[in-house]
Chains A and B, each alone.
Chain A
Amino acid sequence: MVRSGITRFAALASIVALAATACSSSATTAPAAAGSTPQAGGGQIINVGGVDHVVVQWFVGLGSGGNPSQITVEQAVVADFNAAQDKTPTGTKGMPILLSLNIVQNSTATDILKTQLTAGNAPDIIGPVGVKGRAAFPGQFADITPLAKAAGYDLTQYDPNVLKLLSTNGVLDGFPYAVYPSMIFYDKDLFDEAQLPYPPQKVGDKYTLDGAQVDWSWDTVRKLAMKLSVDSAGKDATQAGFDPTHQVQFGFSFMWSEGRRMGSDFGSGSFVATDGKTAQFPDPWKAAWAWYYNGIWTDHFIANATEEGSSLLASGNPTSSGHVAMSEMFQWYDCCMSASSPSKTIKKWDIAIQPSYNGTITAPLDMDVFSIAKASKDPQDAFVALSYIASRGDLSASYGGIPLVGDQLTFYHKYVDALLAPEFPGNVVNWQVAIDMEKYAPAIHHEASMPNYIKSEDDYSKVWTTLGSKSGQNMDDVYKAVVTALQADFNAAP
C-alpha cells in the first residue's frame, strides 16, 4: 500500500511538474497557440512609424527557400529592401512598400497556398517556385510581360528559349530566375578501380569503350554501367557467373527521378497531346522507361526498389552512398551530396555531359521562377519588390541554382565551393559542364502542366514505381496502363 502510494505520488508529481513547465513556457507560446495571426493581406495599407506603407506579401515554400541558411538570406533581403523603401519610396502610389515574408514547409506549401487563394487573401509574390509547383495552379499567376514593360524592366537580357520554356500556354507567368540543369555524376575512385576512362565533359567528345571510340549515348552508358556493376565476389555484370542477388555496386542510378523527367532524358515530350486533353505516351519516353526497366531486371546495372532502399545505397540516396559509379542528377542535388564532412563514402567525383538518344542530347532542366498572383491587389508594386529580390546574387546563390543573368555566376561559384569544399577536400568539379547542359533543355518542360495535375501525377507515378519493384512486366501493358489512368484523370478534370 505504501509503495503504491509512492508511485501514485510520483505520477502526480510528474504531471504537476509537466504542467508547471508547460505553463511557464505557455507565456511565450500563447500567442502562437492562440492562432498564428492572420497574415496581413497583400495590397493592404498599414501605418508603420507614422507613414503609410503598401504591404507586399512574399510566399516562400513551393520550391526551395525553407532551409535555415536560406531563411537568413531571405530575411536580410527583406530587411534591406524595407530600409531602402523608407529612404526612397518607389511604390507606384508614392508610398513606400513593406515587403513581408511568409515561409511555409515545402510538403504542405501547395495546400496552404491553395487555401489562401481560396480564402481571398492571396500573397503577391510566390517563389522561388518550380514548374511543377506552378502547374498545380493553372491560370492563377499573372503575366509578367506587361508588368515588366510598365516598370521599364528589360526582359530581352534573357535567352528567348528559356523564356519560352518558362511560359505556360504562351503566357510568361513567371519571372525568370535560376536553372538547374541535368548532368551525369561519376565517382572517379570507382572508375579507377575498374580501370576505365572517365566519361566525356564536352559535347562531341567520344568515349573509349573496349578500345573503340564510340558516341556518348544511352547505349554506351548501358554497356559501361554493366562493367561498373559488381557482385560480392568481385564479378561485374558483363561476366559469366555474375550474381545479381549479391550486388554490392551499381553502375548507374537516376537520382531522385520520376517518370516524366526520365522520359525527357531521351527526348522532349508530354503525356498530354497538343489538344490539351488526350493522354499519350511519347516514343522517346517509352524508350527511356524500357532502358530503365531493363537496366534493373535484365542488365542489373540499376538498383531495384529494394536495393535502392537498402542501407548499402544509403536508404534511397544512392549517389552519395559510394556504391554507385554514375548518376543522373540535377544541379540542386549539390545540397545533398554527403551526410558527413569530410565524406568517407565518396572522395573524388566530377560531372559529365548527358548521353544522347538517336544522336540528340536532352538534358531536363529544373527551374525556379518568381510568380505574381493574378489575385494580387497590387501587382505593379509586387513587381518592384520582385525585381529587387531577383537582383540579389547572394539569394540566388543560397538557392543553389545557376542564375540566368551572367554577372551572378560568381556568386554561384562561391556558394558551391563553400558548400562542397569541406566535404570533398581537394576535389575539383568542372561546373562548366552543367552550364553547357542548359542549352540542351527539352522543348517541353518535363513538369509542364496537365489537366487534374496532382492526381494525374500520382497516377502515372504509381505505374512508374512498379518498374523498380516488379519484374516480368510487359512494357506495352505498362504504357497502356499509364495512358488509361491519365485519360480518366484528364476526363475528370474540373
Chain B
Amino acid sequence: MTANDVLLSLPTNAAKRSHRAHQIRLRISKVGVTLFTASMAMIFLLPFLYMVLTSLKDSDQMTALNAPLYPATQEMYTASDGQQYVVYEVPTASGTQELALKDPRRTDSTFIDTKTGQTVEWTGNWRSLTPVWLLSIKWANFDNVLGVLNFPLLLRNTLFVSVLGTIGAVTSAILVAFGFARFHIPGKNGLFMLLIMTIMLPFQVLLIPQYMGFMAIGWTGTLLPLIVPHFFANAYNVFLLRQYFLTLPRELDEAAQIDGASPLRILFSVIVPQAWPAIVAVSLFHFFFSWNDFFAPLVYLSGHNDLFTMTVGLQAFSATYARAGSGTLTQTGALLAMIVPVAIFFAGQRAFMRGVIISGVEK
C-alpha cells in the first residue's frame, strides 16, 4: 500500500492515469489469483463430489461399461414376451437408432426396434455400442446403509465416547494447565519438559502394556479404555491451555486472591471465563480426535459389535460390502460417517482454527 500512497501524492494527470491502470492491473491479478486458488480447491475437493454422486448410484452402474459419471440406469425395453432388454444407440443405414439388444452374438446380433417391436438383424460388435443412460438417483442406498451399518447405534456409541472423553480431557487439562501456569512448584520446568516429551512418544510402545493392563482388569470389550485415560490430561491439551493462561493478565487473579478466593475458585471464576477461545479449541480438538480414532476402538472393541464406534463400524461395513461389489454403498457409508464431524467443524471452525494457530505458532 505504500506504493499507492506515493503515487497518490503526485497530482499530475499522467500519474492519475497510471494510477488507474495500476488499479485495473491490481484487480485483474486479484481475480486471477482467486480463480487459480478456487480451481486448486476444486481439484482438491473433487473426491467429495465423487463420493456424493457415487453414493447415489445403483451398484449395477459400477460394473457396466461406458457408464456416465452421474447416477443413471440403463434404459430397458420390455418386449412382448415380458422380457427386459437393454436399449443401445445403434448406427444403422438409416442413421442412429435406439434398439433393444435381444440376442447378442460375437459378430452379429438380433435387436428389437423399440417403436415397432420388430426384430432387426445387425452386423457388428455389440460391445462397441453405447447403451442409453437415464438419470436415476438411488436414495434407497441411504436406507440400506442406515439399516445395515446400524448408524443410530454407531452414532450413540461414538457420541458417548467422544463427549465423555472430551469432558474428561478438557477438565483435566484445565486443572493441570492452571497448575503449570500459576503455581510455584520445585522442579516445575523439568516436569514441563517431560510433558512436552510425551507428545513425541510413539504410541506403539505404550499400546501393548496398556492393552494387557485393561485386559487384566476386564475392561477390554468395553468402552472404558476409550474414555477413562482421557481424564488424566493429555500433554498436547495441557501445553495449549498453559500457553493461553500465561497470556492472561495476573491482576484479576491476584485481586481475587486478596479477597480470599481459593485457587479452585480463581480458576473457575477468573481464568476459565477469560480462556473460552482456547477451551473451545481444545474441546473441538479432542472431540474430533475421539470421533476419528480408529486403532484404539479396533483393538479394544474387537468382537463387540454392539459397542462399535463410527470408524470401526464403517471399516467392518466396507470390508464386507466392498467384497460384495457394492462400491456405491461403501461411499454412502463414508458420507454418513463424515457428516457429523464436518458439520461441527463448519460450525466451530473459527475457534478451531485459532486453536491450531495458538498451538502451532507458540512452539
Contact = CB atoms under 8 A, between A and B. Distances in A.
A38 B218 contact: yes
A314 B304 CA distance: 30
Interface stretch (A21-29, A123-131, A135-143, A435-443): A21-29
30 contacts: A10-B348, A14-B348, A15-B163, A19-B167, A21-B159, A23-B163, A25-B159, A29-B160, A33-B160, A33-B223, A36-B222, A36-B306, A61-B303, A193-B105, A193-B106, A194-B106, A232-B127, A232-B128, A233-B125, A233-B127, A311-B63, A312-B65, A314-B63, A315-B62, A315-B327, A317-B325, A320-B325, A321-B325, A340-B59, A344-B74
Interface of B: 58-60, 62-63, 65, 74, 103-107, 125-128, 156-157, 159-160, 163-164, 166-167, 215, 218-219, 221-224, 276-277, 280, 283-284, 287, 302-307, 316, 319, 322-327, 343-344, 347-352
Contacts of A108: 302-303
Contact of B302 (A35, A111, A234): A111
A375 interface: no
B326 A339 contact: yes
Contacts of B306: 32, 36
A423 B222 CA distance: 40
Contacts of A7: 347-351
A8 B156 contact: no
A474 interface: no
A18 interface: yes
B159 A112 contact: no
Chain B CB count within 10 A is highest, among A21, A311, A320, for A311
Contacts of A312: 63, 65
Contact of B222 (A14, A34, A256, A321): A34
A404 to B, nearest CB: 28
Contacts of A166: none
A38 B316 CA distance: 24
A160 B195 CA distance: 68
B326 A11 contact: no
B159 A22 contact: yes
A107 interface: yes
B59 A339 contact: yes
A25 B63 contact: no
B360 to A, nearest CB: 19
A15 B340 CA distance: 11
A19 B163 contact: yes
Given A8-B351, A236-B106, A312-B65, 14 more contacts: A11-B350, A15-B163, A18-B163, A19-B167, A36-B307, A104-B303, A111-B302, A111-B303, A230-B127, A232-B127, A234-B127, A248-B65, A315-B62, A344-B74
Contacts of B103: 192-193
Nearest to A34: B222
Contact of A317 (B105, B218, B324): B324
Nearest to A11: B348
SS of A interface (majority): helix
B328 to A, nearest CB: 9
Contacts of A320: 325
Nearest to A4: B350
Interface of A: 4, 7-8, 10-12, 14-15, 18-19, 21-23, 25-26, 28-29, 32-36, 38, 61, 104-105, 107-109, 111-112, 115, 189, 192-195, 230, 232-234, 236, 248, 256, 311-317, 320-323, 336, 339-340, 344-345
Given A19-B163, A112-B303, A107 B316 contact: yes
A36 B221 contact: yes
Contacts of A230: 106, 127
Nearest to B329: A339
5 nearest A-B pairs in the assembled complex, by CB-CB distance: A11-B348, A314-B325, A234-B125, A317-B325, A22-B159
Given A12-B280, A18-B163, A105-B303, A234 B106 contact: yes
A61 B303 CA distance: 9
Contacts of A248: 65, 127
Contacts of B287: 15
Contacts of B221: 35-36
Given A12-B280, A19-B163, A104-B303, A315 B105 contact: no
Contacts of A189: 104
Contacts of B167: 19
A193 B306 CA distance: 48
B159 A18 contact: yes
